[in-house]
């Protein structure tokens, strides 16, 4: 690979960057490059053998142009009608797996910052990761969460159906959702065994319920007018354990996560909540200037290490 010199914008950023931030930026660059290699080498594995429920096309998606202001770059894919997963195997797997639901406002899927980069981090913990490219369209639709939820349920069942092949413990399969993907993940946790599409093959004989969930700045779990959780988020004592992260200054209010956590606490469901004063929204694992929000992964690693077995079914 030829050496590429930084452009003037990058040099200006470097001059303005405090010295203590440089190690974080270097780490981020390494993660981005590693994640890029993984995503480039991994094949998309379709969730369904044919059309997904209600679809009539098989589109893997269209990658949108990069935004010039974003350094490092962020990849966004839209117009997906054939949902798929990319598989990221840990070099020393511990049997645990996590399905990653990136964000993108239900109109696109952020495949690196909230996908392959997260997979690289999970792999370092011995966790096999699956990044989901769920169905989205670059336009407004009613119930935009419905197809992503269907795809997430199918993906969990698919992972369980191939657990032996991938050397996984079928009782230690979780989900991690970011932003809009965090809302879909919350709905997945609440849905339990209720599948939101018609089951018609052997894969769907496997449970669609994850064993735990990480909700990272989940988008709009609450109704601002009523001041309560969305009515569809029916949390009961069978809800899997959850780990939640938000920031106080997030435009997608942290009250979403606070209310979700409060309901889990009322029902004595194992849960952990971290709200940072600053950091905004959409950071993934990347550091944010003036914020400690990137330290959420350290807390999450300890929490994940405690998920050593299945929670008893109701």
Query: Any residues with CB less than 8 A from the CB of 276 and at least 6 apart, and which?
Result: 245, 246, 247, 248, 291, 292, 293, 296
Residue 312 has pLDDT above 70, yes or no: no
Closest to 103 (Cα-Cα) out of 185, 17, 224: 185
Considering the entire predicted model, what is its pTM? Answer: 0.85
Asked whether residue 201 carries a pLDDT value surpassing 60, the answer given is yes
Average pLDDT, the chain: 87
Mean pLDDT calculated for residue range 37-54: 76
> What's the confidence (pLDDT) of residue 308?
64
List pLDDT tens digits, range 90-109: 999 999 999 999 999 999 99
pLDDT at 18 over 50: no
Homologous superfamily of 45-305: Alpha/Beta hydrolase fold, catalytic domain (3.40.50.1820)
Q: Shortest CA distance to 202 belongs to which of 168, 259, 161?
A: 161
To which residue do tokens 């010039």 refer? Answer: 68
Contact 83, 154 (CB under 8 A): yes
- Kindly tell me if the per-residue pLDDT of 313 is higher than 80: no
HSE, CB side, 13 Å, CA atoms: give it for residue 70: 14
The model's pLDDT over 189-199, given as tens digits with 9 standing for 90+, comes to 999 999 999 98
pLDDT of residue 66: 95
Q: How far apart (Å, rounded) are the C-alpha atoms in residues 253 and 224?
A: 9
pLDDT for residue 246 is more than 50 = yes
What residue segments make up the domains of the chain, in order of their start? 45-305
Number of Cβ atoms within 10 Å of the Cβ of 253 = 17
Q: Among 181, 140, 191, which Cα is nearest to 282's?
A: 181
Q: What is the pLDDT of residue 178?
A: 98
Looking at per-residue pLDDT, the higher value among 40 and 82 belongs to: 82
Mean pLDDT to the nearest integer, 153-174: 97
Which residues on neighbouring strands pair with residue 110, listed in sequence order?
76
Average pLDDT over residues 156-177: 97
Do the beta carbons of residue 135 and residue 197 sit within 8 Å?
no
Q: Nearest-CA neighbor of 97 among 71, 67, 131, 65?
A: 131
Q: What is the pLDDT of residue 71?
A: 87
- pLDDT(22) > 90: no
- The secondary structure of 104-118 as a DSSP string is STTT-EE-IIIIIHH
> For the chain, how many helices (H) and strands (E)?
7, 13
Give the pLDDT band of residue 39 (cuts 50, 70, 90).
Answer: very low
Helix residue ranges per DSSP H, 162-204 = 180-191
- At 165 the pLDDT is 96
Q: Mean pLDDT across the stretch 115-127?
A: 97
Where is pLDDT greater, at 38 or 191? 191
- Asked whether residue 16 carries a pLDDT value surpassing 90, the answer given is no
> pLDDT-based confidence at 10, cuts 50/70/90?
very low
With 0-12 / 13-18 / 19 or more C-beta atoms within 10 angstroms meaning exposed / middle / buried, residue 4 is exposed
């Amino acid at each position: 690979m030829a050496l590429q010199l930084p452009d003037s914008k990058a040099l200006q950023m470097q001059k303005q960057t405090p010295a203590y931030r440089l190690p974080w930026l270097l780490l981020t660059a390494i993660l981005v490059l590693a994640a890029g290699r993984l995503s480039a080498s991994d094949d998309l594995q379709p969730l369904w053998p044919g059309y997904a429920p209600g679809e009539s096309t098989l589109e893997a998606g269209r990658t949108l142009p990069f935004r010039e202001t974003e350094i490092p770059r962020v990849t966004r894919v839209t117009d997906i009608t054939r949902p798929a997963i990319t598989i990221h195997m840990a070099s020393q797997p511990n049997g645990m797996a996590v399905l990653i639901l990136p964000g993108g406002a239900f109109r696109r899927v952020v495949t690196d910052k909230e996908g392959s980069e997260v997979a690289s981090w999970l792999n370092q913990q011995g966790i096999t990761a699956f990044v989901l490219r769920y169905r989205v369209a670059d336009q407004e639709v009613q119930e935009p969460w419905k197809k992503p939820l269907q795809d997430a349920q199918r993906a969990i069942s698919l992972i369980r159906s191939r657990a032996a092949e991938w050397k996984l413990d079928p009782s230690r399969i979780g989900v991690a959702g970011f932003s809009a993907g965090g809302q879909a993940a919350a709905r997945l946790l609440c849905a339990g065994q209720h599948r939101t599409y018609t089951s018609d093959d052997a894969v769907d004989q496997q449970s669609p319920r994850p064993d735990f969930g990480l909700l990272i700045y989940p988008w709009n779990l609450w109704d601002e007018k009523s001041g309560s959780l969305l009515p569809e988020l029916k949390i009961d004592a069978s809800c899997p354990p959850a780990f939640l992260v938000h920031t106080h200054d997030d435009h997608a209010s942290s009250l979403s996560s606070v209310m979700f956590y409060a309901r889990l606490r009322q029902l004595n469901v194992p849960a952990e909540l971290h709200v940072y004063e600053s950091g905004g929204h959409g950071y993934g694992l990347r550091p944010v200037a003036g914020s400690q929000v990137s330290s959420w992964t350290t807390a999450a690693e300890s929490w994940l290490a405690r998920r050593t077995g299945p929670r008893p079914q109701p």
